[in-house]
Structure 1
Amino acid sequence: MPNATGHFLTTIVRPVVLGVERVLLSLESWLVGPLRPDARHNIHVEIGWAAAYGVFATALAFVPVVLRQLGAPAGWLAFYSSSTYFGSVASWAGLALFRPGQVKRHMTAMWFISRGLLVLVALVSGYPGLLLLVAVFWLLEGLPAPAYTAIVQRVYPVEDRGRVMSVTRVAMALPMLALGPVAGWLLDVTGYRVLFPLAGLVGMLGALIFSRLRVDETALQVRGSGAPSGLRRLLAQDRRFALYLLGVLLFGLGGLIPVAIVPMVQVDRLRLSYTAIGWLNLSMAVSRTVSYVFWGRLSDRWGGVRCMQAAFAINMVVLAPYAIATAQGIGQAGGWILLPSFIAMGIASSAIDLGFITTIIQLAPFGRVSEYAAAQAALIGARGVVGPFIGVGLMNLGVSQTAIFVLGTALSLLATLALVQVRVPPAQKAVLGA
């Protein structure tokens, strides 16, 4: 095991991470242009930690399928999907954890500990133990999200923020592009108790790289009482933000209600191997990587709200192939019917990844970015905890899998229409975070 681990890290993971970093450094000047020395240093740091996280996330994408292969029933799959939002649910209350002058230090510690938990997967067998570890992981991993949004606003120029973020996200997506099939093959050959600990080590490395980011922590305004009354007051005072969050809620439920059924379709109906799913993940990584550059430029031009609206519309394509597969009873030979779904998921997810940050910076008043980001994260977490169980409940009531996928598509349409109603003044369209 130690020799295999060392061989994997030195011959596959390390060259991929270093190669990604070289490519991104070459593209950086072309994509972003001239920047202050401190901002350029921070881009280089983020390229490094994002590339490491991309390796880590490649393995995480297989968790639902591994759980199903281990025998986890639909209810447990729904619990896993909910657990990925535990940190988001707690993010509003978690604002109190980030003391002035220590924000980055606390973020790094949380990420280092959370990713280190995956190393312990080597000691567990069966889906209950795996579920416990990943649930605690997601709790710690999601807590720093509002603080990260505040850091992004602080360290990158307003006029280039979208393009800068697209570079770091491409750095994250390239390892997924390169390692998706490799991770699937490694699962088939060695099992999850080898892959997930390896991924955890790389994720811990990414957290250490992030600690090199240059930011004046004394100037960071991570504010918010963490009390529920503060969240209610915020939504009552800013109706435009509340309408945006309604769109986020509808979009999230559209994807989360069927989420526990997705691995059941992949494993039980289409009988896809880990390797086949790895190739599908590769197609998603390709579309995600290419579209990051596209969405980064559009974000600077359109603003986050309109990019999110476009992403919600594209997301309707994600569930349609699953509805077709369940309606027509397509077997193993038709597994590639999911290819359009994975491609659309890559395009939409890159826009949403950037949009969750740029939209908050666009809509939040000056000095309240972390507060607005925490409110968004709390809503995302709440819908994430509840949504998967709605789908399982509908299935237990006799609703067909096809109907559940159609419902998810309809909710994405309603989310798109909700964002049409979010009015953004011209000044905010031109300068994010003004």
Structure 2
Amino acid sequence: MLFERQVSFHSRIAYHYESLAGFIFGFFSGMVLSFLPVVARRLGATGAQMALISSSFAFGLLLTFLWTYITMYGRKMAVFYWPKFVARSLFFLMPFVNTPSFFVAIVVFYYLLDSIGNPVYGAIMKEAYPEEERAKIMGYVRIVLNLGTMTAAFAGGRLLDWWGEDSYRIVFPVGAILGLISLSAFIHIPLREKNNTYPSLSFLQIIKEWFNDKTIWKLGGIISVAGFGNLLLGPLAPIFLVDKMKVSLSFVGLMGATSSIAIMLSYYFWGNFIDRKGPIPSLRIIFLIISIPPVMYIIGRNWSVLLAAVFSSFAGGGWELSWFKYVCARTNSIEKVQIDTGFYYNLMGIRGAIAPFVAVWLMNLFGLKITFFISFLIILWGFVLIWIFGKSLEPECATQGAV
């Protein structure tokens, strides 16, 4: 795969399988996930249903504290694999969809099941790659992933337009097959793991650890401010694209392909930048960049919404890598990484479950463009907070042992 020579010898096997899995997953993402909101709106989904789709990923994340506890019982890879296997298989039901409600239900259950393996992913990365090159390698994987997404999104948009309004009944199940093949590659990543009859931490200890870690709460709170503003765009963007701009699915595919190019550049840049400069300075820049897309939607031209996709994708890649770098740098304990990763996803679930519905409420109250401006102001406040408190949040690398 690409970049293998830039990866240290002892990390190459893990990188090979993860990058292969990522490339194939990119086709699933590009053919299926990129089009879910727009297809739903075209099927007649209401504003509330669009908010439900935008927040659906968050419902599973709200239970991350439970998933974190469960993943400490046994093999991390099995916990990662099976929920995602079932989740991606749900898209085989697409030929039977006859109402927007059925479509929305499939999407909601997909994200609910898909979220179960998220807490364990950080632990897998902690074990698979060494600290000094982890962000860089994860960036390489995501570049390869988005090569697949770019190709599939562009081709998928053309196919969906070409085959007509029911084409998702064919395209989405084909994408699901690729999603399952991707999982089969991912589980070959070598890990030195064992089955535990009981987790070393009780459920209450995990909750206590979350509440006692004031630093992670402070950073999580700041990220949640910017993240809330960013998530307001979730239901608004597809509503704006379909109702106001009347875009084709080919244009949506072009947006997906453009986003993928930006993400590839993002992960290449941020993977190296975060390893050199650290996660907190990176987040300062990321929050500033992520404030630009709402302004681009206010302008409301084809070129501006394409730029919105570029800025959002470029910043989003660094956002994810910064958190993983931060939690891995704070401790040598894989369990602590799982706990901190779980905390991150839980906060994401809270804001993700609320923000889309707030966005639709604000849209009905003030209109789309004022709501876009509110989104911009909230993200900008997150930037101000990370600028003020950033120095106090710098991680003391690997000073914490097992909790």
Q: Using structure 1 for the length normalisation, give the TM-score.
A: 0.85
**1:303 CA displacement:** 2.0
Displacement of 1:426 in angstroms is 7.4
Q: CA deviation at 1:259?
A: 2.1
Q: Aligned equivalents of 1:128 and 1:94: distance in 2?
A: 27
- Note if contact 2:76-2:124 (Cα within 8 Å) is conserved in structure 1: no
Alpha-carbon shift at residue 182 of structure 1 (Å): 0.6
Q: Distance in 2 between matches of 1:223 and 1:130?
A: 41
Match of 2:298 in 1: 323
Q: Which of 114, 125, 133 lines up with 1:160 in the alignment?
A: 133
Counterpart of 1:14 in structure 2 is: none
**Conserved 8 A contact 2:60-2:116:** yes
- How much has 1:363 moved relative to structure 2? 3.8
Q: For the aligned residues, what is the CA RMSD?
A: 2.2
Given that residues 240 and 368 in structure 2 are in contact (C-alpha distance below 8 angstroms), is that contact kept between their aligned partners in structure 1?
no
1:390 matched residue in structure 2: 358
CA 1:404/1:222 → structure 2, altered by over 3 Å: closer, same or farther?
A: farther
Within the candidate set 410, 422, 431, 2:377 is matched to 410
The equivalences for 1:182-331 within 5 A come to 182-190=155-163, 191-218=167-194, 225-226=202-203, 230-231=206-207, 233-325=208-300
Q: How far off is 1:205 after superposition?
A: 0.7
- 1:144 matched to which residue of 2? 117
Q: Aligned partner of 1:293: which letter? A: Y
Shift of 1:433: 8.7
SS in 2 for 1:62: helix
Distance 1:244 1:426, change over 3 A: closer
Q: Give the Cα–Cα distance (whole angstroms) in 2 for the partners of residues 209 and 90 of structure 1.
A: 27
| Offset, 1:414 | 1.4
- Determine the C-alpha separation between the residues in 2 that align with 1:111 and 1:127: 23
The correspondence for 1:368, drawn from 336, 339, 345, is 336
What is the one-letter code of the residue matched to 1:189? W
Shift of 1:257: 2.2
Number of the residue aligned with 1:52: 24
Q: Which residue of 2 aligns with 1:170?
A: 143
Counterpart of 2:9 in 1: which secondary structure? coil
CA contact (8 A) 1:391 1:404 kept: yes
Of 34, 39, 43, which residue of structure 1 is paired with 2:15? 43
CA separation of 1:219/1:417 partners in 2, compared to 1, >3 Å: closer, same or farther?
Answer: farther
The Cα offsets for residues 190-218 of structure 1, whole Å up to 9 and x where unpaired, read as 31111111111100111111111110112
2:176 maps to a residue whose letter is: G
SS in 2 for 1:383: helix
The answer to whether the 8 A contact 2:131-2:328 is kept is: no
Q: Distance in 2 between matches of 1:116 and 1:206?
A: 13
TM-score by length of 2: 0.92
Task: Find out whether 1:378 has 2:353 as its counterpart.
Answer: no
In the TM superposition, what is the alpha-carbon distance from 1:305 to its structure 2 partner? 2.6
Counterparts of 2:202 and 2:253, CA distance in 1: 43
Deviation (angstroms), 1:66: 0.3
Confirm whether residue 336 of structure 1 aligns to residue 309 of structure 2: no
Q: Return the letter of the residue paired with 2:45.
A: A
Give the direction of change, closer, same or farther, for the CA distance of 1:207–1:433 in structure 2 (3 Å limit). Answer: farther
Show structure 2 runs of 5+ residues with no match. none
Residue 337 of structure 1: CA displacement?
Answer: 2.5
- Quote how far apart the aligned CAs of 1:235 are: 4.7
Identical pairs, percent: 24
Three-state SS of the structure 1 residue aligned to 2:235 is coil
2:16 and 2:359 map into 1 onto residues whose CA distance is 42
Residue 224 of structure 1: CA displacement?
5.4
Q: Where does the alignment leave 5 or more consecutive residues of structure 1 unmatched?
A: 1-20, 326-333
Deviations 1:307-339 (A, max 9, x none): 2232111101111111222xxxxxxxx423212
Shift in alpha-carbon separation, 1:230–1:153, aligned structure 2, 3 A: closer
C-alpha contact 2:15 2:141 (8 A) present in aligned 1:
yes
Q: In the alignment, is the contact (CA less than 8 A) between 1:78 and 1:388 conserved in 2?
A: yes
Query: What amino acid does structure 2 have at the position aligned with 1:43?
Result: Y
Post-superposition Cα deviations, 1:38-67, rounded to whole Å, max 9, x if no partner, equal: x21110000111111111111211100001
Name which of structure 1's ranges 92-101 and 405-414 shifts more when overlaid on structure 2.
92-101
2:85 pairs with 1:112: yes
Instruction: Work out the CA distance in 1 between the residues paired with 2:191 and 2:173.
Output: 31
Tell me if the contact between 1:181 and 1:279 (Cα under 8 Å) persists in the aligned partners: yes
Deviation at 1:149, TM superposition (A): 0.1
Partner secondary structure for residue 366 of structure 2 = coil
Q: Conserved in 1, the CA contact under 8 Å of 2:75 and 2:195?
A: no
For residues 223 and 90 of structure 1, the distance between their equivalents in structure 2, rounded to whole angstroms, comes to 20
Q: Which amino acid aligns with 2:224?
A: L
Asked if 1:74 corresponds to 2:47, the answer is yes
Closer, same or farther: CA 264–146 of 1 in aligned 2, 3 Å: same
